[in-house]
Amino acid sequence: MREIGHFIGGKHVRGTSGRKADVFEPMTGDVIATVDLATKAELRAAVENAKAAQPAWGATNPQRRARVLMKFLELVQRDYDALAELLAREHGKTIPDAKGDIQRGLEVVEFSLGIPHLMKGEYTEGAGPGIDIYSMRQPLGVVAGITPFNFPAMIPMWKFGPAIAAGNAFILKPSERDPGVPMRLAELMIEAGLPAGILNVVNGDKDVVDAIIDDPDVKAIGFVGSSPIAEYIYGRGCANGKRVQAFGGAKNHMIIMPDADMNQVADALIGAGYGSAGERCMAISVAVPVGEDTANRLVEALVPRVEALKIGPSTDVNADFGPLVTREALNRVKSYVEAGVSEGAKLLVDGRNFTMQGYENGFYMGGCLFDHVTTDMRIYKEEIFGPVLSIVRAKDYQEALRLPTEHEYGNGVAIYTRDGDAARDFAAKVDVGMVGVNVPIPVPIAYYTFGGWKRSGFGDLNQHGADGIRFYTKTKTVTSRWPSGIKDGADFVIPTMG
């Protein structure tokens, strides 16, 4: 059985706390590894290591920093299949889905190769008599990322790619449920030429999260996870004077207008709602057909598709989705389905009793489909994070627009229609951070920013794109005047450029 420690100063180190967590293989239910849970002292050792290494890395010109990331991209491509297999074994998603997880992370690293341009400041000659003004972007120093189990490759790369490109040293605290891929990514960064200490991986639970939040040398924290924890990290981190971006839960709606192509809608909902067993912050979990006829046609198209979903082990490349990440996650999702039934929603497809032949101890669940869900039900209000789709019938477009706008989460939303005016109006008015028009999962490409609104996101700057660079840098503005333009005598009037 593998024993996973920490990665500090460019090498593996064993934990000293004596506390460990089991790492499961969700498709079998077996424990396949243990991971050490760090102490505050071990986190501090990683921070000191990073703090010592960062000045030289920050002084390295941005082209050379970009070359390290370029080599890293080459090495990940070399090991793509092995990384995807490891990711699938620890998380439970299928290997094709695991490859998508890796690819989405690589795209942000590719964007970060433009760091020589992205770090450029501004310059104004002659802003005043003999006065020039210019700005420069500089790294923050030591920064950290606390990343979730559901994207163990993508989100770590979303965090450390821009941060390291900008000249920072990075502390990564990945999920203890599937730590293997983040550790392997750190090894590949060292192989690519990253100096030891610039990327450290510290495994742990709430103890190490609190240590990161409270450490005075950690200048910024990027987090992705549940909304209560996002709010906790944001509040405590800001109180400690840190820059924080914290992304939380979601309840993503898809609005289906009467003119939409129903086959296209049903296929989009099946992929967006049930892919990765629903363990995505961008999963569509609420379908909102406009009008009773639209709703009835949607149900007719969806039910046979949900019943035909192919659930399989992570190694089955033909499976639509695999198991959930842990037995606790499986039981939690089943409890939501039970709550929906007890609150009066109509369960059209019940996947709770699904078992996988030969994998009876795995954490499997079939797809569930609810109809006649109302806004006062828990299955509507709360994030389920499982293969459960709810249909909320809207009588008209205005009601459909209000549902995602008034929900406490504001991560992603989609509208399916052939009407350009309706789509344009919806995109302009809906109170949600990311909008898809005939696109079910509106994750922006790497040079746009990713981030939700309301309780889906805390902080002023989003992930990746230009915001990713802004978050991990600080701007310094220099106003200069040389002696030939300076008159004798004190000036007691506030400086102006006139």
Give domain status of residue 442, yes or no.
no
Integer Cα distance of 178 and 189 in angstroms: 19
Q: How far out from the chain centre does Cα 26 lie?
A: 21
Residue 429 sits in the same domain as residue 462: no
Give domain status of residue 51, yes or no.
yes
Residue 57 sits in the same domain as residue 74: yes
Residue 390 sits in the same domain as residue 263: yes
Integer Cα distance of 36 and 205 in angstroms: 10
Per-residue pLDDT, 485? 59
Give domain status of residue 470, yes or no.
yes
Per-residue pLDDT, 488? 73
Residues 6+ apart with CB under 8 A from 177: 21, 23, 24, 90, 91, 149, 325, 326
Per-residue pLDDT, 489? 73
Integer Cα distance of 121 and 141 in angstroms: 19
Per-residue pLDDT, 158? 96
Give domain status of residue 484, yes or no.
no
Q: Which domain holds residue 392?
A: 252-437
User: CATH code at 430?
Assistant: 3.40.309.10
CA angle 61, 65, 67 (to 5 degrees): 120
Per-residue pLDDT, 128? 86
Per-residue pLDDT, 486? 63
Give domain status of residue 46, yes or no.
yes
Q: How far out from the chain centre does Cα 18 lie?
A: 30
- Backbone dihedral angles phi then psi of residue 17, each to the nearest 5 degrees: -75, -25
Residue 73 sits in the same domain as residue 186: yes
3-state secondary structure of 365: coil
Last residue of a domain, one of 437, 468, 489: 437
Residues 6+ apart with CB under 8 A from 1: 31, 32, 33, 34
Give domain status of residue 449, yes or no.
no
| Residues annotated as part of the active site | 281
Last residue of a domain, one of 437, 470, 491: 437
Give domain status of residue 233, yes or no.
yes
pLDDT tens, position by position, 392-415: 999 999 999 999 999 999 999 999
Residue 174 sits in the same domain as residue 143: yes
- 440 with 272: CB under 8 angstroms? yes
Residue 67 sits in the same domain as residue 208: yes
Residue 268 sits in the same domain as residue 362: yes
Q: Which amino acid is at 424?
A: R
Residue 337 sits in the same domain as residue 204: no
User: CATH code at 73?
Assistant: 3.40.605.10
Full pLDDT tens readout for the chain, 498 residues: 899 999 999 999 999 999 999 999 999 999 999 999 999 999 999 999 999 999 999 999 999 999 999 999 999 999 999 999 999 999 999 999 999 999 999 999 999 999 999 999 999 998 888 899 999 999 999 999 999 999 999 999 999 999 999 999 999 999 999 999 999 999 999 999 999 999 999 999 999 999 999 999 999 999 999 999 999 999 999 999 999 999 999 999 999 999 999 999 999 999 999 999 999 999 999 999 999 999 999 999 999 999 999 999 999 989 999 999 999 999 999 999 999 999 999 999 999 999 999 999 999 999 999 999 999 999 999 999 999 999 999 999 999 999 999 999 999 999 999 999 999 999 999 999 999 999 999 999 999 999 999 999 999 889 889 999 999 999 999 999 887 756 677 777 776 655
Residue 224 sits in the same domain as residue 287: no
Give domain status of residue 110, yes or no.
yes
Last residue of a domain, one of 437, 464, 490: 437
Residue 232 sits in the same domain as residue 100: yes
Residue 11 sits in the same domain as residue 108: yes
Residue 430 sits in the same domain as residue 387: yes
Per-residue pLDDT, 272? 96
Integer Cα distance of 277 and 159 in angstroms: 24
Count up the domains in the chain and report the number.
2
